[in-house]
Structure 1
Amino acid sequence: MYNQSVTRKEAQGTARLFDPTTHTGTVLLDDGTEIAFDAPAFTAGGLRLLRIGQRVKMHLDDGRITALTLVTLPLPE
């Protein structure tokens, strides 16, 4: 059974930058904080493309994005 970390939380934001070649980018959280995401976080959410300005939701674990997807799609467990 998965033991969820106390520091893991779900958050929402807006895609600020996205590189379709490397699948990396940044998200602006609703409080204005900018957080980078890497290719594994992008892949974990099941996305194929992300457009700047799209609303996203994500799993944050100790301030790091571990999964990212659109607000209308479910996040992975």
Structure 2
Amino acid sequence: MTDLLFLGNLGTGEIVIIAIVVLLLFGGKKIPELMKGIGKGVRNFKDGVKGIEDDIKIDDTTTNNTDSEK
């Protein structure tokens, strides 16, 4: 797993070129906004996954309690 999926072996030169291209495409002011948006998206996704896990735990607890009462 030393290779990053589809990226292969990236050296310092390639990473610098990619960073320059991203800077040219988005501009210096847009990159922090882009990263902030990505961070909010990841946080919302994690909250959603946690909510689903909590719902599953509640359902399991409820199911176990009703089974033991019978």
Give TM-score, length-normalised by structure 2.
0.22
Query: Higher strand proportion, which one?
Result: 1
The structure whose RCO (Cα within 8 Å, separation 6+) is larger is: 1
Query: Higher helix proportion, which one?
Result: 2
Give TM-score, length-normalised by structure 1.
0.20
